[in-house]
Amino acid sequence: MSTSATCRFCGAVLTESFCDLGLSPLANSYVSADQLDQGERFYPLHAYVCSECYLVQLAEFETPEQIFGDYAYFSSFSRSWLEHARAYVEQTSARFDLGPSNQIVEIASNDGYLLQYFQRAGIDVLGIDPAVNVAEAARERGVPTLAEFFDAGLATRLLAERGPADVVLGLNVLAHVADPADFVDGVRTLVAHDGVVVIEAPDVRELVARRAFDTIYHEHLAYFSVTSLRNLLRRHGLEVVRVERVPVHGGSLRISAVVTGNGTRPDGSVAEALAAEERWGVGDAAAYRPLVEGAATVRDHLRTLVDDVRSDGAAVAGYGAAAKGTMLLNYCDLGTDSVGFVVDRNAAKHGRFVPGTRQPVLPVEALADARPEYLLVLAWNLLQEVVDQEAEHRGRGGRFIVPVPEPRVL
């Protein structure tokens, strides 16, 4: 399949297909009870790798406003994510010697889960998040938050009103940005000359290695390598000075960048990461091919596994009503006859239904009544947390099905 779509960063025509997952509903558009008798829209889900700047991205489909208007994701609902946040704040505060005279701006600050820790350390914080309901939740816990989309225009306004920021954080946001050039332009405007920009984004190499095709969905417009991120930042006057790997969202890159020419020299991690990506084949579509082949293999094996279990009379429930769960259930065509319901700790999702496959989302407590023999761990990035929490399920002989990189039973 070819397309006339162009790279959302450099404008080159996209010719190299990376992964074509067919049609899919919007992963976070949970269906309410009164929508059950209505249809749903499915959209093409086809990723490309740009042969000029190596940015891996979805071809444009429809307006992203539709995706983010009623975004029900609240960061604070995952315990391991909160622990990651707390450790991150301690590390960052010490490394940059942050104190009451410093200002941190976080883009896509969600419900303030991260900024609250900086705030407790006496640092001046500002959150920005376009989802009105999550920005409101942040303000309720005392974290000042603007309910707006971050772009170059907003950055100019903030600079005039508040002055430059010592730290600009963008954790897991760049992948959601339709116009990354404008976004990075804004970041460059906002950060102080001696400040630092910290960006976290899922690592495309990990995506391929883990066959994590279920993290490809419409809200994720791009997938990054150090090489493509550096290309992107450089064009907008920012230089990558440090690369770290963090074990969130199945393996992410954490990039620290500074204003070009401010005197900070990149440490050895940058050259090392670039060399490793070159050896891997970051500019070569062949390096990405194991992902799409892996997706088909996972689908076939998982379907067989669930069918076998079901024909033995056992019940299967899903754990974790996250976006990747929607993708997995839909791509593998696991409807309510295969996976009866899905549980999640987030009360905002209870009483709703998974897009496409329509499993009801129930509180975790529902497992004690239904007693399914198998739990399909849709939130596989939280596997250990799920296994630890479900001691009762284990206690009555319940098993866990882990879908990727290869379906297996624990």
Stretch that binds Zn ion, among 46-54, 126-134, 203-211, 267-275 (CB under 5 A): 46-54
Binds Zn ion by CB under 5 A, chosen from 26, 27, 45, 53: 53
Stretch that binds Zn ion, among 45-53, 121-129, 232-240, 279-287 (CB under 5 A): 45-53
Closest C-alpha to 384, from 27, 72, 83: 83
Amino acid identity, residue 3?
A: T
Site map 10..29 versus Zn ion, x via CB under 5 A = x-x-----------------
- The set of residues, in sequence order, having a beta carbon less than 8 Å from that of 276 and lying 6+ positions away, is none
Amino acid identity, residue 225?
A: S
Closest C-alpha to 221, from 43, 46, 21, 12: 46
In the complex, the smallest distance separating the C-beta of residue 234 from Zn ion, rounded to whole angstroms, is: 13
Q: Does 108 bind Zn ion (CB under 5 A)?
A: no
By CB under 5 A, the residues from 164 to 203 that bind Zn ion are none
In the complex, the smallest distance separating the C-beta of residue 323 from Zn ion, rounded to whole angstroms, is: 25
Q: Nearer to Zn ion by C-beta: 230 or 393?
A: 230
E strand map for 252-387 = 252-259, 316-319, 342-343, 361-362, 374-377
Distances (CA, A) of 290 to 287, 296, 328: 7, 10, 17
Q: Nearer to Zn ion by C-beta: 56 or 329?
A: 56
Q: Nearer to Zn ion by C-beta: 82 or 181?
A: 181
Number of DSSP helices (H) and strands (E) in the chain, helices first = 14, 17
By CB under 5 A, the residues from 284 to 323 that bind Zn ion are none
CA within 13 Å, CB half, 190: 31
Amino acid identity, residue 73?
A: Y
> In angstroms, how far is CA 82 from the centroid of its own chain?
15
Stretch that binds Zn ion, among 6-14, 91-99, 192-200, 326-334 (CB under 5 A): 6-14
Query: At 409, which helix (H) or strand (E)?
Result: strand 408-409
Binds Zn ion by CB under 5 A, chosen from 16, 20, 52, 219: 52
Binning the chain into helix, strand and coil, the percentages to the nearest 5 are 40, 25, 40
Distances (CA, A) of 152 to 103, 185, 189, 375: 19, 6, 7, 45
Q: Nearer to Zn ion by C-beta: 13 or 383?
A: 13
Q: Does 7 bind Zn ion (CB under 5 A)?
A: yes
Number of residues this chain uses to bind Zn ion (CB under 5 A): 8
In the complex, the smallest distance separating the C-beta of residue 119 from Zn ion, rounded to whole angstroms, is: 38
In the complex, the smallest distance separating the C-beta of residue 56 from Zn ion, rounded to whole angstroms, is: 10
In the complex, the smallest distance separating the C-beta of residue 265 from Zn ion, rounded to whole angstroms, is: 27
CA within 13 Å, CB half, 255: 30
CA distance 362 to 347: 8
Which three-class secondary structure state does DSSP give residue 219? coil
Stretch that binds Zn ion, among 54-62, 201-209, 329-337, 363-371 (CB under 5 A): 54-62
In the complex, the smallest distance separating the C-beta of residue 285 from Zn ion, rounded to whole angstroms, is: 14
Distances (CA, A) of 136 to 21, 69, 144, 376: 35, 14, 9, 33
In the complex, the smallest distance separating the C-beta of residue 179 from Zn ion, rounded to whole angstroms, is: 13
Site map 58..87 versus Zn ion, x via CB under 5 A = ------------------------------
In the complex, the smallest distance separating the C-beta of residue 21 from Zn ion, rounded to whole angstroms, is: 21
In the complex, the smallest distance separating the C-beta of residue 293 from Zn ion, rounded to whole angstroms, is: 24
Stretch that binds Zn ion, among 5-13, 105-113, 121-129, 312-320 (CB under 5 A): 5-13
Q: Nearer to Zn ion by C-beta: 26 or 50?
A: 50
Q: Nearer to Zn ion by C-beta: 50 or 125?
A: 50
Q: Nearer to Zn ion by C-beta: 10 or 207?
A: 10
Closest C-alpha to 257, from 224, 280, 279: 224
Contact 182, 231 (CB under 8 A): no
* DSSP per-residue codes, 144-201: -EE-S---HHHHHHHHHHH--EEEEEEES-GGG-S-HHHHHHHHHHHEEEEEEEEEEE
Binds Zn ion by CB under 5 A, chosen from 31, 50, 59, 85: 50
Q: Nearer to Zn ion by C-beta: 142 or 281?
A: 281
In the complex, the smallest distance separating the C-beta of residue 222 from Zn ion, rounded to whole angstroms, is: 10
Interface residues with Zn ion (CB under 5 A) are 7, 9-10, 12, 50, 52-53, 55
